[in-house]
Structure 1
Amino acid sequence: MGFITRCWKKTGLELLHSLVRLLCVGLLSVPGAWAQNASIELTELKVLRDNGSLVLNAQLSLELGPVLEDALAKGVALHFVAEAEILRDRWYWTDAQVSYAHRYYRLAFQPLTRRWRLNVSSEPIAGTGLAGSISQHFESLGEALSVIRRQSAWKLVDLQNLSPDARQRVRYNFKLDVSQLPRPFQIAAGGLSDWNLQVSRTLRLSQDMVR
């Protein structure tokens, strides 16, 4: 009898997990297949000198599509991460990381006010909470996305920390951070293309840029 009870408990838990996954898949994959999918493209990436530093300008063509918008409307916050690192070539070992900068974005819909809240931070928002981030409110999703799409005058490194005679490059990456979703959503989103938003590019720094 004990063995049968344990089997029923195990089967019941597996059934519950399956139902949760199915529910999440349904939430993450509606509405219909004819709707425009989420997409991302890096339309501009520039590195400039500014007051003794290198700064980065990036412009994204980011469209969430109905799947991600529907998840937002149902109370799921979306987290995005922008990363930029400067690497120095080394023939005798792996390339040296000269600097590393990142920005974290948390986008959420507030049903009571019908407004969109965007938090921006230089530290992971999940770990520090919202207190250490800059919070902005918008009347529309498009206004909130425009802030994420445009990253201007983002300081990467002081010029004095760069070697004028070395070969160096900037590697930029932007992605939707699925790891910040609730665990059942992470499992459900793993095989869906709408949730696989990521773009990367590398720029070689000229010697004139770093002198």
Structure 2
Amino acid sequence: MTAFSMHFSKRNTFERLLRRLCLMLLICAGVPLHAQAAAELSQFDVERTSEELTLTAQLQFELSPPVEDALLKGIPVYFRVEAEVLKERWYWYDKSLASVTRQYKLAFQPLTRRWRLSVGTGSGSSAGQGLALSQTYDSLPVAIAAIKRIVKWRIAGPGELDPAGRYRFDFRFMLDVSQLPRPFQIGVLGQSDWDISVNRTVPVGPEAPK
């Protein structure tokens, strides 16, 4: 009986160690342990006129509990939007004709119990480095609604595009974990709760005849 008990105990210990090892391997491999926080586009309109090319879009996504918990603990969360117009070239890399970015910084203010949203715009990778506009909101859903809605965002101006040319329009939206505090970045690496992103590519035809 004693020999059987020792054998049973050793087997249980081995199984527990095996389960822990499997869990560690899943974490290291970046296998999501929570439901993925995906994003979608319910509206996506690229409008081209003789004066400019603009984008109007409506994003759909929900913040996961870990993201909301980080916000409530005073950790700002950043979202980034990128839009680019490219000319496709069969003989070389596609040529970028216009590129703009927009960065949202969302932060909770414990003293006032309000949400502060700062928006920085720029070209290329310069979003957030220049002038940023800020606004406060009474609730998180209202602040997130402001991030989800893009209205008449100017992507290219006069002279940047050939009126008769055809182009490719690339769009990307994401929760930018690279802006989180360094120790926090390590903790969220590979966790799908922080993977909020969506991409869209559409053709852009020539200007409509007047």
The one-letter code of the counterpart of 1:120 is V
Alignment match, 1:14:
none
Give the match for residue 118 of structure 2.
119
1:7 matched to which residue of 2? none
State the partner residue of 2:182.
183
- Would you say 1:142 and 2:138 are equivalent positions? no
Q: How many positions carry a matched residue from both structures?
A: 175
Say whether the 8 Å CA contact 2:44–2:55 is kept in structure 1. Answer: yes
1:152-191 matches, within 5 Å, as: 152-191=151-190
- Tell me the alpha carbon deviations over residues 37-79 of structure 1, each in whole angstroms, 9 at most, x when there is no partner: 6331122111113571111011100210211111100111000
Superposed displacement of residue 210, structure 1: 9.3
- Return the alpha-carbon distance in structure 2 between the equivalents of residues 158 and 112 of structure 1: 43
CA distance in 2, matches of 1:49, 1:96: 19
Q: Note if contact 1:80-1:105 (Cα within 8 Å) is conserved in structure 2.
A: yes
Q: Which residue of 1 aligns with 2:150?
A: 151
Identity within the alignment, %: 43
Superposition map of 1:1-211 within 5 A: 38-49=37-48, 52-122=51-121, 123-125=126-128, 127=129, 132-208=131-207
Counterpart-to-counterpart distance in 1, 2:108 and 2:209: 42
Higher Rg: 2
Secondary structure in 2 matching 1:64: coil
Which residue identity lines up with residue 170 of structure 1 in the other structure? Answer: F
- Asked whether the 8 Å contact 1:37–1:67 carries over to 2, the reply is no
Q: Are the equivalent residues in 2 in contact too, given 1:85–1:171 (CA < 8 A)?
A: yes
Q: CA RMSD in A?
A: 2.2
Contact 1:162 1:210 in 2 (8 A): no
Check the 8 A contact 1:159/1:210 in 2, yes or no. no
1:86-118 Cα shifts (integer Å, max 9, x gaps): 000111110100000110100000011000000
CA distance in 1: counterparts of 2:136 and 2:209, whole angstroms: 38
Q: Which shows bigger deviation, 46-55 or 165-174?
A: 46-55
Structure with the larger helix share: 1
Give the TM-score, by structure 1 length. Answer: 0.76
- Displacement of 1:196 in angstroms is 1.3
TM-score normalised to the size of structure 2? 0.77
Q: 2:40 aligns to what SS in structure 1?
A: strand
